[in-house]
Amino acid sequence: MAKRVSLSGNEAVAQAMRQINPDVVAAFPITPSTEIPQYFSQFVANGQVTTEFVPVESEHSAMSACIGAAAAGGRVMTATSANGLALMWEMLYIAASSRLPITLAAVNRALSGPINIHNDHSDTMGARDSGWIQLYGENAQEAYDNFIMAVKIGEHPDVQLPVMDCFDGFITSHAVENLEMLEDEEVKAFVGENRVAPYALIGQEPVSMGPLDLPPYYFEHKRQQAEAMKNAKRVILEVAAEFEKLTGRKYGLFEEYRMEDAEAAIVILNSSAGTAKAVVDSLRAEGKKVGLIKIRVFRPFPAEELAEALSKVKAVAVMDKADSFSAAGGPVFTEVRSAMYGRADGKIVVSYIYGLGGRDVTTNQIEKVYNDLFSAIETGKYEVYNYVGVRE
């Protein structure tokens, strides 16, 4: 039976790690993800888990140790943020291309510089092409749930890819919220007691991993990765259906909030979706046809499904808590607009960059975006690439 608890996002994820009891956790502290390995090392010290905890000297080493342990056949986890994720960069690609299902709690924080420890999505958005599956969560409950599902998704025989559980630094990681925690046995039964690795350095049939991959082979291995990512979309939904049976909580590729008959819609990730939902409710109370889509799965990108969900609206604002400095719009915007091309044509699709470096995201800002959309629908005049919440 599930129990109601009050935990911060970091605590909830550390508890999920304890319940899973992985073989190896290798981590290096960095704000705002520090608490996850901190809590977890206490579980290790208390004998509550049998995990080998590897306190490494950098995030590059953390991911390297995770890769080594996963190659050995272990179930492996870590946590990081911002510059820590950046320092892992080289190894992120190696984890994915070696097809090692590592679970990473990516506590979103602005990537320096200028140096800043607060929330935005510049860290994980930069890692979007590393070959990792990326799940995004609005609150502590979703961070906890996604972390447990991540293990099962990544380890699925048709996937075999590493997974990031992304949630907002401080806003979700440090705020204490009420959530439902599963029983330890339920989590263990859901993810399985041990990882079943198709190939492992340790075991009856040892293998070589990560060999030099020259032009006759590299291309084919990348094609395999692309196929695994396509498979992941199906597996994510299968795992979500199984999770729903266990918990009653329903997860998809994205969440649609009051999208029926919506004319103006916002597409957004993580905690700001909560703020935006409050705006949707108040505008709906005024009779305005507004809706919201919160993307949960950014990698693989649910292109067809999003285009379908946006096929009835007149205008869409895609809100990015990171700029890709293409000078043409944020990263989520670029992909959403591309997904709509040929599937949901003739819409107004605009980009809003918001909340960089932990700038507070207010209901006024979100309301302005909806008002801008209605004015664009009315006049046909609008800017594609916008900043909101910045001092003009």
> Which of 296, 308, 291, 290 lies closest to 237, judged by CA?
296
Identify whether the C-beta of residue 292 lies closer than 8 Å to the C-beta of residue 277.
yes
The CA distances from residue 386 to 344, 351, 377, 382, in Å, are 22, 6, 16, 10
> Of 228 and 280, which CB lies nearer to another protein in the complex structure?
228
User: What distance in Å separates the CA atoms of residue 118 and residue 139, rounded to the nearest whole number?
Assistant: 16
Q: How many chain residues are in contact with another protein, going by CB under 8 A?
A: 24
User: What distance in Å separates the CA atoms of residue 2 and residue 21, rounded to the nearest whole number?
Assistant: 18
Stretch of 145-153, 166-174, 223-231, 338-346 contacting another protein, by CB under 8 A: 223-231
Residues 294-353 that bind another protein (CB under 8 A): none
By the 10 Å C-beta count (0-12 exposed, 13-18 middle, 19+ buried), 125 is classed as buried
From 189, 207, 241, 328, residue interacting with another protein (rule: CB under 8 A): 207
Stretch of 1-9, 93-101, 122-130, 292-300 contacting another protein, by CB under 8 A: 93-101
> Of 209 and 348, which CB lies nearer to another protein in the complex structure?
209
> Of 192 and 206, which CB lies nearer to another protein in the complex structure?
206
Instruction: Name the minimum Å distance from CB 220 to another protein.
Output: 4
From 18, 99, 121, 347, residue interacting with another protein (rule: CB under 8 A): 99
User: What distance in Å separates the CA atoms of residue 36 and residue 237, rounded to the nearest whole number?
Assistant: 27
By the rule CB under 8 A, 183 interacts with another protein: no
Q: What is the 3-state secondary structure (H, E, C) of 175-187?
A: CEEEEEECCHHHH
> Which of 94, 120, 90, 91 lies closest to 106, judged by CA?
120
From 81, 97, 324, 386, residue interacting with another protein (rule: CB under 8 A): 97
Contacts of 32 (CB under 8 A, 6+ apart): 10, 81, 107, 109, 117, 119, 169, 170, 173, 174
Please give the DSSP secondary-structure letter assigned to residue 356. Answer: G
From 42, 129, 189, 206, residue interacting with another protein (rule: CB under 8 A): 206
Helix (H, G, I), strand (E, B) or coil at 234: helix
By the rule CB under 8 A, 203 interacts with another protein: no
By the rule CB under 8 A, 204 interacts with another protein: no
Identify whether the C-beta of residue 32 lies closer than 8 Å to the C-beta of residue 83.
no
By the rule CB under 8 A, 392 interacts with another protein: no
Instruction: Name the minimum Å distance from CB 205 to another protein.
Output: 7
> Of 221 and 343, which CB lies nearer to another protein in the complex structure?
221
> Of 66 and 283, which CB lies nearer to another protein in the complex structure?
66
> Of 133 and 332, which CB lies nearer to another protein in the complex structure?
133
By the rule CB under 8 A, 192 interacts with another protein: no
58-98-40-134 Cα dihedral, nearest 10 degrees: 100
Instruction: Name the minimum Å distance from CB 242 to another protein.
Output: 24
Identify whether the C-beta of residue 297 lies closer than 8 Å to the C-beta of residue 135.
yes
By the rule CB under 8 A, 379 interacts with another protein: no
By the rule CB under 8 A, 196 interacts with another protein: no
Instruction: Name the minimum Å distance from CB 129 to another protein.
Output: 17
By the rule CB under 8 A, 213 interacts with another protein: yes
> Of 219 and 325, which CB lies nearer to another protein in the complex structure?
219
Contacts of 288 (CB under 8 A, 6+ apart): 264, 370, 374
Residues 132-161 that bind another protein (CB under 8 A): 160
By the rule CB under 8 A, 221 interacts with another protein: yes
The contact set with another protein (CB under 8 A) reads 97-100, 160, 198-199, 205-211, 213, 216-217, 219-221, 223-224, 227-228
